[in-house]
Amino acid sequence: MPAADALAINGGTPVISKTFPPYRSLGEEEIAAANRVLRSGVLSAFIGASGPGFYGGPEVQALEREAAERFDVKHVVSVNSWTSGLVAAMGAIGLEPGDEVIVTPWTMVATATAILHWNAIPVFADIDPQTFNIDPEAVEAAITPRTRAIAAVDIFGQSADIPALRAIADRNGCKLVTDTAQAPGALLNGIPAGTAADIGGFSLNYHKHIHCGEGGLLVTNDDRLAERLRLIRNHGEAVIASDQCEDLANILGHNFRLGEIEAAIAREQLPKLSGLIKSRQQAAARLTKALSCLPGLNPPKVRPDSTHVYYIYGMTIDLERLRRDRDWIVKALKAEGVSGLLEGYQNIHLNPLFRHRIAYGTSGFPWTGLRSGDSDISYGPGLCPVAEQLHQQTFIGLNLCAHAFTDDQVDAVIYAFKKVWADLSKVALR
């Protein structure tokens, strides 16, 4: 018989016996909105030619207006996923084949592959160990005469150091793009995340704060970039021909158009964003208050100029103060019933596509085979030591958009951590 307080990993009773219900932000409002569109019979009104149909149907246009107001930005361009949004953003800033774009290894892979879609070269810069966002000093060190843009990511719900990145971009004649998929509604110096870059934007996929199944919103205050984004979204090459617009003639378009049902659902989600953020922030505050006392566990650091919207609650462990490794700790927490745990995050620069430098065909294009000459950018272990160490050994995340996380549920998670840490402290070195 295990002791009454035995860890579940050793055969004791788990703290959490029933999985928490999944995060659910959809209600009657979204059902009514989807029905309204179905009844109208107009599921999309986009036409890939110049004229009113170029801008999409009534729900798409209303979503873009309402989102522009919500995020206090001049232009919102909706797209059918944020991955599409990233591809459109990299095209809109006018990358030439062989141009370099500096990007973080701690992101979802689309931030980096969007660069390759325009035959430009991703260059990885290491991250800050406290915020997990791209480190401006590492960005500075990665600048070369070929650098054309910086692609920052507001990872886990807190903005990257945009003022520092903006200064580096301006000094070097670069554009700044931000991937704010995980931080809609976060603020940096009071400004909504994503809107201080040349182009930013949000994901509306089903596991983000607000969603419509699949979708994305591009944001920009630049009229010309907004126009280019709309052209790439909707068969630009056909539209330009009918518009007789000479200086945009080289644009290559796609079909990145959002449907009317998705747009109508997203319109109902937008006003819910502030409340959803608030409940994530309350859960995070409750976690931080309790978990700060545990030796060798570091809760998220929020920069004084920022708010954090906690898509993921990112922690690190101090291996010198704990005799167990992360693998055991995560297994023990999972055994106690804690779900939504992430063991490490990402190291995009170590993905096979980058390591082998093969994106198109099999001959190394676009790193080789471009008229501008071969690229000397390479990828492999040791390129981003901070990111690699966090991913391999010390980072633990809790996905705060996996469940609603009521106070009772947060308290159960806290109790599971305390139970595991009580065992860890029996074997702690100091």
The residues binding ligand PLP (CB under 6 A) are: 81-83, 107-108, 110-111, 153, 179, 181-182, 203, 205, 216
CB-wise, 342 or 420, nearer to ligand PLP?
A: 342
Q: Considering the complex, what minimum distance in angstroms separates the CB of residue 180 from ligand PLP?
A: 8
Residue 171's CB is within 10 A of a number of other CB atoms, namely: 10
- Rank residues 107 and 375 by Cβ distance to ligand PLP and give the closer one: 107
Tell me the β-bridge partners of 365.
360
In whole angstroms, give the CA distance from residue 303 to residue 309. 12
Question: Minimum CB separation from ligand PLP for residue 348, in Å?
Answer: 10
**For residue 129, which of 397, 388, 398, 399 has the smallest C-alpha distance?**
388
CB 153 within 8 A of CB 82: no
Which residues are within 8 A (CB) of 365 and not within 5 positions of it... i.e. 6 or more apart?
119, 359
Choose between 391 and 419: whose C-beta lies nearer to ligand PLP: 391
Residue listed under structure tokens 């049902």: 261
* CA dist., res. 121 & res. 375, Å (int): 8
The nearer residue to ligand PLP, 15 or 263, going by C-beta atoms, is: 263
What pairs with residue 255 in β-bridges?
Answer: 234
Residue 49, SS3 per DSSP:
coil
Q: How far is the CB of 109 from ligand PLP (least distance, A)?
A: 8
| Shortest Cβ 182–ligand PLP spacing (Å) | 5
Q: Is 123 in contact with 170 (CB distance < 8 Å)?
A: no
Residue 25: C-alpha distances to residues 207, 267, 404, 406, 410 (Å): 10, 13, 9, 14, 18
If the CB atoms of residues 147 and 178 are measured against ligand PLP, the closer one turns out to be 178
- Nearest distance, CB of residue 84 and ligand PLP, angstroms: 7
Exposure pattern of 23-58 as b/e (b: 16+ CB <10 Å)? bebbeeebeebbeebeeeeeebbbbbebeeebbbbe
Contact 257, 232 (CB under 8 A): no
For ligand PLP, give the closer residue by CB, 161 or 179: 179
The SS3 assignment for 122 reads strand
CB of 379 to ligand PLP, least distance (A): 19
Q: Minimal distance in Å, beta carbon 88 to ligand PLP?
A: 12
Closest CB to ligand PLP among residues 133, 234: 133
Q: How many CB atoms lie within 10 A of CB 20?
A: 19
Q: Please say which residue, 214 or 423, places its beta carbon nearer to ligand PLP.
A: 214
